[in-house]
Amino acid sequence: MVTPTASAPRSIGAPIRSVPARIPTPAVVRVRGLALLLAVLAAACDEAPTAVSSGDETSPSTAVVASGQTANIEALVLAGEAAWAAKDPAAYAALFADDAEFISPLGTYLHGREAIRAQHVLLYNGPFLGSTLDIQIGRVAFLTGTIAVVDLNYTLTDYQFLVPGLYETEPGIFRLLVRWVVEKRGGTWLVVAHQMTQVAPTP
């Protein structure tokens, strides 16, 4: 039989050691909250967002977009130039989604691919007959892996005339700033929103 050993009684008035509670500092809380937010945002996207590309310009705070990310956007631009050169309204309208929104430099509004096609039938057989369109990409910003904002510079030359309300940027040259919102649908990149702004004439 083992006889338990009695513990020495604590003397009255002896100090009691306390263990301080570990309370997270505000900085720790902020870091944990940021990590949780980033995890939620990453889970919300089907594909990871891509950084912004500003043409040839980059900044220390802007990551360079891999060339593969913009290849489909560049192909869309080339298809637009080719359709314009061929004066093929159906091919030009094929760049756009069925439910695309199109705002002209005059502020007129078109809804849907068919309306865009019909408008370009008139343009190609009237004021823009024989014209040449050059499209340059100014900036591509991927909001997600399947949606991007694209800023473009349109330069139109060799046109027959400009309709009332439009004006030449320089003699024989009509320039536009164009913004696309493009989306990848069913594996194909399409323009879902298109807005044009005239460039003011050169003083």
d(CA 87, CA 132): 10
The pLDDT tens digits of the residues spanning 108-143 come to 999 999 999 999 999 999 999 999 999 999 999 999
Structural domains of the chain ordered from first start? 66-198 (3.10.450.50)
- Model pTM score: 0.69
pLDDT number for residue 36: 41
What integer pLDDT is reported at residue 68 of this predicted model? 67
Q: Which of 38-42, 99-103, 185-189 has the highest mean pLDDT?
A: 99-103
Tokens 């849907």 locate to 112
Is residue 66 over pLDDT 70?
Answer: no
